[in-house]
Amino acid sequence: MKILHVIAGVNPAGGGPIEGILRQAEVWARHGHQREIVSLDNPDDPWVKDCPVKCYALGIRSTIYRRMQGIIPWLRYGYSPKLVPWLSSHAANYDAIIVNGLWNYTAFASLRALADAGVPYFVFTHGQLDPWFREFYPVKNIAKQILWLFSEGRLLRRARAVLFTSEAERRKARNAFWPYQMREKLIGYGTADVVDEPARQMEALYACMPQLADRRFLLFLSRIHPKKGCDILIRAFARYARNYPDLDLVIAGPDQTGWRLELEHLADEAGVSGRIHWPGMLTGDAKWGAYRAAEAFALPSHSENFGIVVAEALACGCPVLITTQVDIWREVLAGGGGLVSRDNEKEFARIVGEFLERSLEERTDMAIAARNTFVLRFDIEFVAMSMLARLQDLVADDAV
């Protein structure tokens, strides 16, 4: 089966969607199936050249345009005059097309090029219909409703299926915008197992962050963004910092909204700025070493349709502290691989304290359960093939 993914960008800093595509592609390739990507990236972007999956980057090359995108909000929509013609002329080369994400030019271009192309296409919303965005960005939500009428809503209505990674994500998306008409389908999701040596990975972490070598720490590893609840995490950590003087907090990830300065000020006011580390985006062995060395992985997110980073932590045997807005929280709780709370400071601080108060034996048992939860539910070796079989069924079923 040959599948094309349409996505705004392949930069790993973009988070879970591109990570999921790349990890699934590895498994599919071993079974003779092929994936390719078309994106709005600049062809000269380094992550395009480093992308392990064939990527057709059709973004505008102009340096001036790229600079203006960082200044003028509506240019971030990502218009490219090349995308519609390219999709129209190449769609027939694929057995199916998957549009990843909404609220950027890939959605409108896909609607124009694919609605009548005769090739089945699917849409992964990747949590972008979560009502949290409506509550947190009410003005943007008005603009999104307008886009919905002319672009996103029509794209989803005409899709062979709109794909959700969990029942919770599907339920929260319903009636996010008007009119809400689509064929909803649940499909498995996961990430690749970690096979390299733990000792070498932790050495890589300590090589770039030697200050952690003799410290215990909680780990946040994701985009630094308001929806991730970093402020909740800092306040929760501050509640217990005095009682656990050997414990630090690592907040690792790209600061895409300029929020870090405000968070550093918050940490300073709470008296814990000297015990919070900001290494930026960790990659490769250093990233895996962080998961393995951490006491627990903490993600007090307000909105997370799956949470690739949660699955990665589980794969490394790292207990997770998450909220009920991370849509795989039921699986984590059932497997015993972590603790779950509501997405507010009081409740999240409660589970942080509960975890820290557990004995070494209890934390070790939770780490083992975390690893088992990953193997049973989120290992890409199983999930990717299950997803492929599901897509094949949907492609073959005209009636869906």
Do residues 178 and 208 both lie within one domain?
no
22-37 pLDDT per residue, tens: 999 999 999 999 999 9
Least confident span in 11-20, 173-182, 211-220: 11-20
Token output for 187:
């499909």
Locus of tokens 């599919």: 28
What count of other Cβ atoms lies within 10 Å of the Cβ of residue 85?
A: 12
Per the rule left: phi > 0, alpha: psi between -120 and 50, beta: everything else, 392 is alpha
Do 72 and 184 share a structural domain? yes
Do 232 and 165 reside in the same domain of the chain? no
Beta pairing class for 34-39 and 121-124: unpaired
Does residue 303 have a pLDDT over 90? yes
pLDDT at 398: 60
Amino acid occupying residue 364? T
The tens digit of pLDDT for each residue in 305-344 reads: 899 999 999 999 999 999 999 999 999 999 999 999 999 9
Give the tokens for residue 129: 């219909």
Average pLDDT of span 246-268 = 96
Is the Cβ–Cβ distance between 17 and 124 less than 8 Å? yes
Same domain for 108 and 245, yes or no, is no
Quote the CA–CA distance of 205 and 192 in Å, as a whole number: 20
Instruction: Name residue, tokens 């973009």.
Output: 14
Q: Given this model, what pLDDT does residue 214 score?
A: 93
Residue 69 predicted with pLDDT over 80: no
First-to-last CA distance in the chain? 19
170 in the same domain as 73: yes
Query: What secondary structure does DSSP assign to 239-304, as a single string?
Result: HHHTT-TTEEEEEES--SSS-HHHHHHHHHHTT-GGGEEEEE---HHHHHHHHHH-SEEEE--S-B
pLDDT of 250? 98
Domain co-membership, 371 together with 389: no
Please tell me whether residues 139 and 226 are part of one structural domain. no
d(CA 191, CA 308): 7
**pLDDT over 70, % of the chain:** 99
Alpha-carbon radius of gyration of the chain: 21
Domain region containing 177: 2-191+381-396
Nearest Cα to Cα of residue 99 among 82, 80, 79, 119 = 119
Whether residues 172 and 229 fall in one domain: no
Same domain, 207 and 326: yes
Q: Model confidence over 128-152: pLDDT tens digits?
A: 999 988 888 899 999 999 999 999 9
Rounded to two decimals, the pTM is: 0.89
- CATH code of the domain containing 93: 3.40.50.2000
What b/e readout covers 86-124, taking b as 16+ CB neighbours within 10 angstroms?
bbeebbeebebbbbbbbbbbbbbbbbbbbeebebbbbbb
Could you give the CA distance from residue 46 to residue 48 in angstroms, rounded to a whole number?
Answer: 5
Do residues 214 and 360 both lie within one domain?
yes
pLDDT above 60 for 400:
no
Question: How many residues appear in the chain?
Answer: 400
Q: Are residues 87 and 229 in the same domain?
A: no
| 129 plus 215 within the same structural domain | no
- How many domains in the chain? 2
